[in-house]
Amino acid sequence: MKIVFATNNAHKLDEIRRILGNRFEIVSLEDIGCHEEIPETGDTLEANALQKAQYVYDHYGLSCFADDTGLEVEALGGAPGVHSARYAEGTDHDSEANMAKLLRELEGKDNRRAQFRTVICLIGTSPLHLSHEGGPLFFSGSVSGTIAQSKSGDGGFGYDPLFVPEGYDKSFAELGAEVKNKISHRARAVEKLAEYLHSLES
Ligand code: IMP
C-alpha cells in the first residue's frame, strides 16, 4: 500500500518506515515530485496537519498523512505550541534562536513543565478508509517533561537540548535517538497510525 508522508525530513521518514515496517510503501514529497511550499497557516496543530495532508490529496490524488508538532510550555500558556518553528521573531526553524527565546521567557519562573505534542492527519482513498463520517483521521501523541535551565547534548534537533522527559535526568539531545524514538511524542502518534493501518489489513 503506497502512502505519501507529507515531509522531506529524512529523520522523520526513517523513523516512520521503521515503525510501519515494509508492508507499507511510504514515499516523501520529493518522491512524488512535489517541490512546492505547502501552506501551513492553521492556528492549531490539527489544522496544519490537515492542511498539509489535504493539499497532497487534492493536488496529487494520493493517500497521504502529515504531521505537525509543537512544544507546549505550561507557564507560557501553551506557547510556543503551533508556532514552535518560528518562535523567535523573524526566524524560521532557527533552533538556537528559538531555544534562546524560550530560556528568556522562562527566566525567574519556577514552573518549567512542558510537553511535546504531535498530531498526524491521514486522508486516504480505499482501502485507507476515511473515518465513518467521511472526514480525515487524526492520531496524536505527547510526552511530558521539563525545560532545563540550559542546553545540554548534541543529538536530536529543534528544542531537544532543553527538553528533559519525565522519568529521566537527561535532555532528549543527550538521551539519543534510540531512547527518544521509544518515548517521543512523534513515536507515540506514529504508533497509533500504524495500529490503524495494520487493522485495515486484518
Ligand atoms: P514540525 O511540525 O515537525 O515542523 O515541528 C515544528 C517545530 O517544533 C520544529 O521546528 C522544531 O523546532 C520543533 N520540534 C518538532 N519535533 C521536535 C522534536 O522531536 N524535538 C525537538 N523539537 C522538535
pLDDT in tens, 100-135: 999 999 999 999 999 999 999 999 876 666 555 567
Q: Is the bond leading into 80 cis (omega within 30 degrees of zero)?
A: yes
Average pLDDT, the chain: 92
- What confidence score (pLDDT) does residue 95 get? 95
Alpha-carbon Rg for the chain, nearest whole angstrom, is 17
Ligand 1 centre to CA of 194 (Å) is: 21
β 64-73/80-81 pair status: antiparallel
Q: Alpha-carbon distance 112 to 198, whole Å?
A: 38
Is residue 165 within 8 Å of residue 175, measured between CB atoms? yes
Q: Which residues contact 28 (CB under 8 A, 6 or more apart)?
A: 4, 5, 7, 8, 13
Q: In sequence order, what are the beta bridge partners of 66?
A: 121
Q: Write down the catalytic residue from 68, 110, 154, 169.
A: 68
In what helix (H) or strand (E) does residue 200 lie, and over which residues does it extend? helix 185-201
190: closest CA among 36, 40, 17, 37? 17
Could you report how far apart the first and last alpha carbons of the chain are, in Å? 14
Cell numbers at residue 156, please? Answer: 536530536
Q: What is the pLDDT of residues 3-44, one digit of tens each?
A: 999 998 887 888 788 878 777 899 999 999 999 999 999 999
Is residue 71 within 8 Å of residue 81, measured between CB atoms? yes
Ligand 1: residues with CB < 6 A are 68-69, 84-85, 93, 95, 98, 116, 156-160, 172, 184, 186
